[in-house]
């Protein structure tokens, strides 16, 4: 196992490079971000004191277009983490055929211990500090861990103040009232369901008769379950950090989420068997959707997974060792960079709408998303058959091929 996320990203790149017999010069260039900016942001706290926060913005590769990637607020943010995440964003944008390169940002802080005013002052200070390397044509940030439409609105406003005019296209994930896109809230979960539908066709799974198990009851888990149930699937189990629930006859997802909003957890939902997150992963089902945390399916439990198909709603829920076990067991894993690419895809649509100052209906957004992700899935599946590798490596091969082709055409070697 790699010691840090950057080492893990390099391992995945190296493995793909060997399969592709990649030009050593291009391989060397892809190992490193184009730039990583470190900033120190002084923030006046509510008690009158000034606290200085450290932040980063890593921009990996822009051969395909401007940089794209979220900004997270978390105590464990590190330069290695944002470097790794920027590399993974390059592959995610590439595999979805988006005209973007990968970036990622982060600030070392604990927003749960900060007031709204402190978070706003930090947000505006951080965005002002990185403003020299971002913008609609250069780098378009978005929300991530502990950041949402609220922070994106502040970011857009701060950048617009610096420029002296309104620049909605500088970030995505904004509220609809100030240039956000219809369909963005459910986009990641909807993308998971589209990948699931296409994979089910390949595996001969009839969705109207399929049992679905979902780990995670947040935005991605809820919308993945909701959209899969619209295909006629039966959601038999769901969980959050406090525990899980199981009913072989199926769950009403809206009722489950309403219960969670009232009580703080899905645990205790009426007429269900209480189960742990570990037990949930090992239930017999057709489709398993881990959409909570990373490293949930590991070498310890992979041989007990009974699903026919795993759709990675979360980032990195399956370890490399588990990947091999599942592949050899005949279980298809649709990897995170493909399965949860719906979010960045609709972020791309938001950016396009901002640049045109012309906005689409939710139906138009959903139709474009469906066509984009079906094409991406089929590209990865064809590569999976061609190279006889698992779907994760097929996705990396597709992504790296597209980026290196652009690098070669631009003369970057």
Instruction: Identify whether the C-beta of residue 280 lies closer than 8 Å to the C-beta of residue 215.
Output: yes
In angstroms, rounded to a whole number, what is the distance separating the alpha carbons of residues 55 and 107?
Answer: 4
Share of the chain above pLDDT 70, in %: 99
What residues are paired with 332 via a beta bridge? 309
Q: What pLDDT band is residue 55 in, cutting at 50, 70 and 90?
A: very high
H-only helix segments in 31-100: 79-95
| Spatial CB neighbours of 110, under 8 Å, sequence gap ≥ 6 | 74, 75
pLDDT at residue 265 greater than cutoff 70 = yes
Q: What is the DSSP string of 19-44?
A: HHT--HHHHHHHTS-SEEEEEEEEEE
pLDDT at residue 394 greater than cutoff 90 = yes
Instruction: Identify whether the C-beta of residue 60 lies closer than 8 Å to the C-beta of residue 400.
Output: no
In angstroms, rounded to a whole number, what is the distance separating the alpha carbons of residues 328 and 331?
Answer: 8
Query: Is 174 labeled as catalytic in the residue annotation?
Result: no
Instruction: Identify whether the C-beta of residue 236 lies closer than 8 Å to the C-beta of residue 251.
Output: yes
* pLDDT (average), residues 379-384: 96
| Spatial CB neighbours of 378, under 8 Å, sequence gap ≥ 6 | 198
Average pLDDT, the chain: 95
Q: What pLDDT band is residue 328 in, cutting at 50, 70 and 90?
A: very high
In this structure, of 100-114, 157-171, 294-308, 340-354, the range with the lowest mean pLDDT score is 294-308
Do 25-171 and 187-339 agree at the fold level? yes
pLDDT at 1: 40
Q: Where are the domains of the chain?
A: 25-171, 187-339
pLDDT at 34: 97
In angstroms, how far is the first alpha carbon of the chain from the final one?
Answer: 31
Domain 25-171 CATH (choose: 3.40.470.10, 3.20.80.10, 3.10.560.10, 3.40.50.10860):
3.40.50.10860
**In this structure, which topology does domain 187-339 adopt according to CATH?**
Rossmann fold (3.40.50)
pLDDT at 2: 43
Q: What pLDDT band is residue 218 in, cutting at 50, 70 and 90?
A: confident
pLDDT at 145: 85
pLDDT at residue 210 greater than cutoff 60 = yes
* pLDDT (average), residues 119-133: 98
Q: Which of 92, 104, 226, 234 is catalytic?
A: 104
pLDDT at residue 7 greater than cutoff 50 = yes
């Amino acid at each position: 196992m790699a010691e840090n996320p950057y080492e893990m990203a390099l391992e995945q790149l190296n493995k793909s490079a060997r399969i592709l017999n990649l030009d050593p010069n291009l391989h060397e260039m892809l190992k490193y971000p184009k730039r990583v900016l470190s900033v120190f942001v002084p923030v006046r706290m509510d008690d009158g004191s000034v606290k200085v926060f450290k932040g980063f913005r890593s921009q990996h590769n822009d051969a395909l277009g401007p940089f794209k990637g979220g900004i997270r607020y978390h105590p464990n943010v590190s330069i290695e983490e944002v470097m790794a995440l920027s590399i993974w964003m390059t592959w995610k944008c590439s595999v979805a055929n988006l005209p973007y390169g990968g970036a990622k940002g982060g600030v070392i802080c604990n927003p749960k211990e900060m007031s709204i005013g402190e978070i706003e002052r930090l947000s505006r200070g951080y965005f002002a500090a990185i403003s020299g390397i971002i913008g609609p044509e250069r780098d378009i940030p978005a929300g991530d861990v502990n950041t949402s439409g609220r922070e994106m609105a502040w970011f857009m406003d701060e950048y617009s103040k610096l420029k002296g005019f309104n620049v909605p296209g500088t970030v995505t994930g904004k509220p609809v009232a100030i240039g956000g896109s219809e369909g963005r809230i459910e986009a990641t979960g909807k993308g998971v369901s589209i990948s699931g539908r296409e994979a089910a066709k390949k595996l001969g799974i009839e969705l109207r008769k399929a049992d679905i198990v979902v780990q995670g009851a947040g935005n991605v888990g809820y919308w993945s379950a909701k959209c899969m149930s619209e295909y006629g699937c039966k959601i038999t189990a769901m969980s959050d950090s406090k525990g899980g629930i199981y009913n072989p006859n199926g769950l009403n997802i809206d009722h489950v989420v309403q219960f969670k909003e009232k009580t703080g957890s899905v645990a205790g939902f009426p007429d269900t068997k209480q189960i742990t997150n570990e037990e949930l992963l090992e239930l017999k089902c057709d489709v398993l959707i881990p959409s909570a945390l990373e490293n949930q399916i590991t070498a310890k439990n992979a041989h007990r997974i009974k699903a026919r198909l795993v759709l990675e709603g979360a980032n990195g829920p399956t370890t490399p060792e588990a990947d091999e076990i599942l592949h050899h067991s005949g279980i298809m894993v649709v990897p995170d960079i493909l399965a949860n690419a719906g979010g960045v895809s609709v972020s791309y649509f938001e950016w396009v709408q901002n640049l045109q100052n012309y906005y689409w209906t939710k139906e138009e957004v959903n139709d474009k998303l469906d066509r984009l992700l079906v094409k991406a899935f089929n590209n990865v599946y064809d590569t999976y058959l061609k190279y006889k590798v698992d779907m994760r490596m097929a996705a990396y091969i597709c992504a790296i091929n597209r980026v290196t082709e652009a690098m070669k055409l631009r003369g970057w070697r």
